[in-house]
Amino acid sequence: MPLYEYRARNRKGGLEEGNMNAHDADAVGQELAKRGHFPVKIQEMGGAGRNKVKDEKNVPFSQRFEKVTAKDLVLFTRQMSTLFNAGLPILGILSALTEQMESPKLRRVLAQVQLDIQGGLAVSEAMSKHPDVFSQLYLSMIAAGEAGGVMDELLSRLADLLEKDEENRIKVKAAMSYPKMVVGAMSIAMVILMLKVVPIFVGMFEKAHIDLPLATQIMIGANKAFQDYWHITGAVIFGLYMLHKKWISTTSGRYKWDMFRLKFPLIGPILLRSAMSKFARVFGTLQKGGVPILEILNVAAQVMGNVVLTRVVVDVRESVQEGLGMAVPLKRSGLVPPLVVQMVAAGEESGSLDNMLIKVANYYDGEVDQAVKNLSSKIEPILLVFMGGMVLFLALAIFVPMWDMSKMAG
């Protein structure tokens, strides 16, 4: 078992040095964490002097796929706000929270953030080295808290914002899951019919040598394509899927696809309302935190999740930069609901844009809730018509030839 030399900070910030036998540098770091220390340096003795400090770059390949969930980040942010409010120093807060985090990835990231802060970086700068964990929105809020000396207040707002954003994401995901589930069940049923049921009738019809109606000919053709040319059919479906992915990876393709999603019946209005809620809440929260409006619009453009709406926000930023305000480009886009435009115009005139947009966010949160609840009742008739059409087609394709066969037998 190799011997490691370490330097670590204790809870009071004091520097401690020593040696420890362990399987690897990770084990040394874990043992130091159990003692309430966080490592500054872990180096194998006699190992050519290479620094073995565990950071995200030295993480094993199997750990690189670990994720920090929104729930983990909200919990960390909420606890960080509470400890800041209690007057604890930043290094003490991060040291205490690192031990409590259930996510291994978040523990590693926080340990590295502590090392970077000790090296002289600001909290936001240290966190910016981990963009897969801390978003631009998160970093902007932290930077604003550092600049204004109101970190505890902004962390509390940030936790609320992250929590609400996750709630809306789950609602939209729930809205999409119902139609996906029904279509998936129907697809499985069709595959079973094609494999087990249809071949029986196809054999009967081919032996009967009767004139088959169009619906039956289509069914027989589909069955042959499904059974005899399944590899070609699968390749075509996979090819279409890959072409779609390649198309939406282009600038024009992504724009057209995102526009299609916004215009799609039933689902599009939910996506738009959710995006409006996110834009309004992010803008209102950041402005309350004292972040400059141009920086707020930069952050908002990055978190919209839709290229079409991102371009709208970029146009708004250019308008503000030219001193023309926000309401005009929002209205000109043709996508932003009139309510949002009116509230923004009223907020700009009264100087209370942050409060107005928080009200808009609360309103659209309620709209998303109601839309998701109504989605099932609106989709069910469409799905019933579709399923009825499929059943009618199968009935015509199967029972009409059987009726003809029974007449011939008579």
Q: Which are the contacts of 118, defined by CB distance < 8 A and separation ≥ 6?
A: 9, 40, 91
Domain assignments of the chain as residue spans, ordered by start: 3-54, 70-163, 176-410
- Residue where the block lists tokens 């807060």: 93
Residue 380's Cβ-side half-sphere holds a number of Cα atoms within 13 Å equal to: 5
Asked whether this chain's domains 70-163 and 176-410 adopt the same fold, the reply is yes
CA 157 to chain centre: 20
Fold of 176-410: Receptor-associated Protein (1.20.81)
Q: Cα separation of 324 and 344, whole Å? A: 13
Q: Is the pTM of this model over 0.75?
A: no
304, HSE (Cβ side, Cα atoms, 13 Å): 22
* Superfamily designation of domain 70-163: Type II secretion system (T2SS), domain F (1.20.81.30)
Per-position pLDDT tens, the chain of length 410: 677 777 776 655 556 777 887 777 767 777 776 776 756 667 776 543 334 444 444 555 555 667 888 888 888 998 888 888 888 888 888 888 887 888 888 888 898 888 888 888 888 888 988 888 888 778 888 887 777 677 877 888 888 888 887 887 787 777 777 777 877 887 788 778 777 777 777 777 777 677 778 888 887 787 777 777 778 878 888 999 999 999 998 989 999 999 999 998 888 888 898 889 888 988 888 888 777 888 888 888 877 888 999 999 999 999 998 888 899 999 998 889 999 999 999 998 888 888 899 899 889 888 888 887 787 778 778 878 887 888 888 788 888 777 777 766 65
Place of tokens 């708004």: 316
Pair of tokens at residue 82: 């509470």
